[in-house]
């Protein structure tokens, strides 16, 4: 394979953005691959940066979800014990039901996390 710019020169690798052959003179070394031009090098850097940023947001979401889940569980347990101790039986049932709703919300978010693989 030959360089896409210098047809007579043997390529040393492929541009990792447009997959054209690049010779030693044309190659922009990106550390993890080659680019055939400045614009390709820029595109590769931008897409790498975007990927890293997405990963950061993704990582943050992974941390906030269990916190919400733990709050739901804690609140649910508070409501259930409060409802069980409540002397007014109608209010007690209501509080226990509220607690169960919160606990099942936590359980559902746990199942959703498993399904989406977060």
- What CA–CA distance (Å, rounded) separates 83 from 86? 5
Residue number, 18 or 103, with CB nearest to Zn ion: 18
- What CA–CA distance (Å, rounded) separates 66 from 72? 10
Residue number, 17 or 79, with CB nearest to Zn ion: 17
Please say whether the dihedral angle defined by the alpha carbons of residues 102, 106, 107 and 111, taken in this order, is positive or negative. positive
Least Å distance, CB 48 to Zn ion, is 15
Residue number, 31 or 59, with CB nearest to Zn ion: 31
Contact between 34 and Zn ion by CB under 5 A: the answer reads no
Residue number, 6 or 48, with CB nearest to Zn ion: 6
Please say whether the dihedral angle defined by the alpha carbons of residues 77, 80, 81 and 83, taken in this order, is positive or negative. positive
Alpha helices (runs of H) in the chain, residue ranges in sequence order? 38-85, 89-116
- x-or-dash string of contact with Zn ion, 2-31, rule CB under 5 A: -x-xx--------x-xx----x--x-----
Q: Which residue ranges make up the site for Zn ion (CB under 5 A)?
A: 3, 5-6, 15, 17-18, 23, 26, 36, 40
């Amino acid at each position: 394979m030959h360089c896409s710019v210098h047809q007579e020169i043997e390529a040393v690798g492929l541009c990792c953005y447009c997959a054209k052959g690049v010779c030693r003179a044309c190659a922009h070394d990106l550390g993890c691959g080659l680019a055939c031009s400045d614009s390709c090098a820029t595109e590769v850097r931008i897409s790498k940066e975007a990927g890293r940023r997405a990963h950061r947001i993704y990582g943050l979401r992974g941390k906030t979800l269990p916190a919400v889940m733990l709050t739901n569980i804690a609140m649910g347990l508070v409501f259930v014990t409060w409802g069980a101790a409540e002397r007014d039986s109608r209010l007690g049932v209501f509080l226990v039901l509220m607690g169960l709703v919160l606990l099942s919300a936590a359980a559902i978010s746990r199942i959703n996390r498993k399904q989406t693989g977060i």
